[in-house]
Amino acid sequence: MGLQGHRAAAVGHLADPEHRPGVLVQNVGSGLFMEVSGGSGAQGAAIDTWYWNGGHNQYFLGTTAS
């Protein structure tokens, strides 16, 4: 995923009134959250970090690789 060398911690749901499934991943150094750039739903979409905004592109679900 290209996140080697980055210190991050899964922080769960942050007072999310919608109780969406998934986890949030926050960089403990910068305080920014991992997100899919531009909210893309395409496979291989770029991942970056941004301020918490509650967008669906900041929630991640674990799946089994095929």
Give me the pLDDT at residue 45, please: 94
Contact 58, 35 (CB under 8 A): yes
**What is residue 60's DSSP assignment?**
B
Query: How do the pLDDT tens digits run along the chain, 66 residues long?
Result: 445 555 555 555 555 556 677 788 888 888 899 999 999 989 899 999 999 998 989 988 877 776
Cβ–Cβ < 8 Å for 24, 33? yes
Rounded Cα gap, residues 33 and 8, in angstroms: 9
Q: Which pTM was predicted?
A: 0.67
